[in-house]
Amino acid sequence: MENPASTSISSPSTPPWNLERPFLTGRFHQESKTTSRFADLKLDSLSGWQEKAIGCYDAAIQELIVIDDLLSALLGVEGRYISIKRVHGKEDEVSFQVDASMDLALQELAKRIFPLCESFLFINQFVELRSQFKKGLVNHAFAAALRALLLDYQAMVAQLEHQFRLGRLSIQGLWFYCQPMMGSMQALSAVTWKVSANDIAGSAVLNLLQSQAKAMAGDNAVRSLLEKMTQCASNAYLGILERWIYEGVIDDPYGEFFIAENKSLRKESLNQDYDTKYWRQRYSLKEGIPTFLANIAGMILTTGKYLNVMRECGHNVQLPVSETLKLMSFGSNHQYLESIKAAYDFSSSELLKLVLEKYDLMGKLRSIKHYLLLDQGDFLVHFMDIARDELSKKLDEISVEKLQSLLDVALRTTAAAADPCHEDLTCCVERMSLPKSLRALKDLVDSRTLTDINDQEEPMGITGLEAFSLSYKVRWPLSIVISWKSLSKYQLIFRFLFHCKHVERQLCGAWQVHQGVRSLNIRGTSISRSSLLCRAMLKFINSLLHYLTFEVLEPNWHVMHNRIQTAKSIDEVIQHHDFFLDKCLRECLLLLPQLLKKVEKLKLLCLQYAAAAQWLISSSIDPCKSEEPSDSLIGSKKSKQCYGKTAKGAKLTTSNSAVTESILKFEKEFNSELQSLGPILCKSSQAEPYLTHLAQWILGIEMTNRF
């Protein structure tokens, strides 16, 4: 046999489809004289010998026949003495067989080349099947790259056949030139088999190609080929990605992209859905993220979301893409990461600018603070005066329309009329008490706290004073930040503040009644004791309101305001806003059931005492008497001034034991609840430092009452 090195084809030190390979370019060395012993044989004369067994010929003729058959087998065609056998029931599995009478040495050399023939057959079949539309864009691109590779492969076989016809190719030479591509074709065959067996598409194909390339790190030629296949297959995927991060459009006809769109969720749901599903689930990540995008998948998702928000606002904006920012590849230089980061920065800054400047987010938040956090409460005082009768009714008797008209009057006749957003304020009446409403906040409390809240008894027959609340109309795109969930938290804080204000007003009324009898000598009487109790209750409720407004709401608001000013994205704004609300809810005792229960009990005692104050005072004073009979006439001015500041003609009575017992009962219950609240506050302040100031106020009141 002739040494393959003596042939004119250059050494196969590089991959067979490299353009520098001579058998791919046709740059075979043309020898001036044919030295091969095959040149004198007439190959065409062998066409009449196929009926005979190959063993009937001498070794030289057998070699020519085997080479001719192998060249056909390399293209998936059966030869004279080499046949293709398909496994029954497994159409994808084929094998090549030789005539048993063939020379054993030739059989051995032919069998070495058979794996290359089988790889070609399988890859060619894969290309035909995966070029169908339903297989997806990545499979289309992968099949196109394989088809281009097979064209080079077929050109190489044609050049080898040309050399064989010139008598310059021996079977050792054929093996010599086939050997370099053997590993690459087998690697590609293994990849295509896995793709077909698992019927995968999209990012799964890219991940498989990448993992196979990494597994072939020891074979530089095979690894480079698999990386090139990955690059070609990913071009279509990068096209989908490019439209998403530059336009906010999902152009994914075969469902291969790792971002899913739920078109059933509309932006209007942000004003109705407590869980804000639109912002979290309208666009979401799917399984099967390409490994080279896994670390920045969240950034990619957010980039397109921001662009879609701007489109929903009618604000069409598109990133000015330069050639350097196009996602042409995802090579080792990681340039694609810089392109994605630039797209994210652009969309984030544009949306943040749109929300903060054009739609004035901070102005809306400031307006909500004025009304729902009672930052400017002059309208509320007026409203509570004119709506007192309506708010005192039971829930089923309240007219929300009447309350709304009274609220409009209060807004138009106070400083709130200067606020351009005051028309967005509406009133509502909740159907359950504040403790019960807190049970809906399952996302903020743990199971233990939730159990404590559920253990609280629902008060019977609550009135509008306990159920009244304000709401606020928030429009797109501000509803992304001020969602229904956020408004619900604002309303919980408002209801607590509103009821505290109501208790304060009732106690102030009781205090005015006490002030009406100051001219009398009340020292040592039940009125004196009642006056001290009223003052203690007022100090308690004032301390609570001072803590809620000046120790909790105002400082936390300024922290949130400063953080929003330095935020880099709308998601950071949402995070700061939610953190502000959650912190306020907790520091306002609304998420501390044990403390809240004590405070509610104390407020109830204050209301009961304030309601009884008129009777307590009137029962402690004799009817107005004067030396002149005319002064005692019913309906006279002096009769109306009986409990006035002068209280002339009135005198104290000390014989009414029921009054004294009632005052002592109120005092005992109030002091008892206050004393039990003190240790709880002291203990809680160790874990919750913000309660320290409130504890100091409460303990101060407790010590005052003791002495």
DSSP code string of 394-439 = BGGG--HHHHHHHHHHHHHTSGGGG-TTGGGEEEEE-SS-HHHHHT
Q: Using the predicted structure, report yes or no on whether residue 648 has a pLDDT greater than 50.
A: no
pLDDT value at residue 1: 40
Query: What percent of the chain has a predicted confidence (pLDDT) above 90?
Result: 31
Q: Using the predicted structure, report yes or no on whether residue 445 has a pLDDT greater than 80.
A: no
| pLDDT, tens digit, 9 for 90 and up, residues 493-535 | 999 999 999 999 999 998 888 787 766 655 656 777 888 899 9
User: Which residue would you say has higher pLDDT here, 1 or 214?
Assistant: 214
Q: Is the dihedral of CA 670, 672, 675, 677 positive or negative?
A: negative
Q: Using the predicted structure, report yes or no on whether residue 394 has a pLDDT greater than 50.
A: yes
Q: Using the predicted structure, report yes or no on whether residue 655 has a pLDDT greater than 80.
A: no
The strand pairing partners of 284, in sequence order, are: 260
pLDDT value at residue 575: 95
pLDDT value at residue 12: 40
pLDDT value at residue 91: 57
Report the residue count for the chain: 707
pLDDT value at residue 629: 36
pLDDT value at residue 571: 93
CA-wise closest residue to 16 among 235, 232, 231, 224: 224
pLDDT value at residue 630: 34
Q: Using the predicted structure, report yes or no on whether residue 452 has a pLDDT greater than 90.
A: no
How many C-beta neighbours within 10 Å does residue 461 have?
7
Q: 4 falls in which pLDDT band (50, 70, 90)?
A: very low
pLDDT value at residue 556: 95
Ordered DSSP codes for 308-361 = HHHHHTT--------GGGS-----TT-HHHHHHHHHHHHHHHHHHHIIIIIS-H
pLDDT value at residue 520: 65
pLDDT value at residue 469: 92
Q: Using the predicted structure, report yes or no on whether residue 355 has a pLDDT greater than 90.
A: yes
pLDDT value at residue 266: 77
The residues, ordered by sequence, that sit 6+ positions from 195 with a Cβ below 8 Å of its Cβ are 126, 130, 139, 142, 205, 208
| Predicted TM-score (pTM) of this structure | 0.77
Mean pLDDT over 648-654 rounds to 46
How many C-beta neighbours within 10 Å does residue 285 have?
13
Q: 631 falls in which pLDDT band (50, 70, 90)?
A: very low
Ordered DSSP codes for 95-158 = EEEE-TTS-HHHHHHHHHHHHHHHHHHHHHHHHHHHTSGGG-HHHHHHHHHHHHHHHHHHHHHH
pLDDT value at residue 7: 40
Q: Using the predicted structure, report yes or no on whether residue 487 has a pLDDT greater than 80.
A: yes
Are the C-beta atoms of 259 and 301 separated by less than 8 Å? yes
CA distance 19 to 104: 36
As given in the structure block, the two tokens for residue 655 are 């014989």
Mean pLDDT over 47-76 rounds to 80
CA distance 84 to 72: 11
Instruction: Give the domains, in start order, of the chain with CATH numbers.
Output: 54-198 (no CATH), 236-358 (no CATH), 362-443+464-620+655-703 (1.20.120.1900)
| pLDDT, tens digit, 9 for 90 and up, residues 362-392 | 999 999 999 999 887 778 888 999 999 999 8
User: Which residue would you say has higher pLDDT here, 99 or 447?
Assistant: 99
CA distance 393 to 384: 13
Query: What percent of the chain has a predicted confidence (pLDDT) above 70?
Result: 77
Distances (CA, A) of 451 to 42, 275, 317, 493, 593: 98, 21, 49, 21, 9
Average pLDDT taken over every residue of the chain: 79
Q: Reduce the DSSP state of residue 396 to 3 states and report it.
A: helix
Please state which of the ranges 235-249, 307-321, 340-354, 537-551 shows the lowest mean pLDDT. 307-321
Q: Using the predicted structure, report yes or no on whether residue 658 has a pLDDT greater than 80.
A: no
CA distance 149 to 143: 10
pLDDT value at residue 144: 92
Mean pLDDT over 552-557 rounds to 94
Q: Using the predicted structure, report yes or no on whether residue 37 has a pLDDT greater than 80.
A: no
pLDDT value at residue 20: 39
* Radius of gyration from C-alpha coordinates of the chain: 44
Mean pLDDT over 288-315 rounds to 89
C-alpha count within 13 angstroms, C-beta hemisphere, residue 603 = 23
pLDDT value at residue 31: 37
| pLDDT, tens digit, 9 for 90 and up, residues 278-292 | 788 889 998 889 988
Q: 650 falls in which pLDDT band (50, 70, 90)?
A: very low
Q: 22 falls in which pLDDT band (50, 70, 90)?
A: very low
pLDDT value at residue 89: 55
Q: Using the predicted structure, report yes or no on whether residue 63 has a pLDDT greater than 70.
A: yes
Q: Using the predicted structure, report yes or no on whether residue 11 has a pLDDT greater than 50.
A: no
CA-wise closest residue to 348 among 307, 291, 317: 307
The helix or strand, by DSSP H or E, that contains position 285, with its residue range, turns out to be strand 283-285
The number of helix segments (H) and strand segments (E) in the chain equals: 25, 6
Are the C-beta atoms of 421 and 409 separated by less than 8 Å? no
CA distance 380 to 571: 33
Please state which of the ranges 178-192, 305-319, 351-365, 521-535 shows the lowest mean pLDDT. 521-535
Mean pLDDT over 38-67 rounds to 67
CA distance 314 to 329: 32
Q: 669 falls in which pLDDT band (50, 70, 90)?
A: very high
Mean pLDDT over 116-135 rounds to 88
The strand pairing partners of 628, in sequence order, are: none
Identify residue 419 by its one-letter amino acid code: D
Mean pLDDT over 616-630 rounds to 52
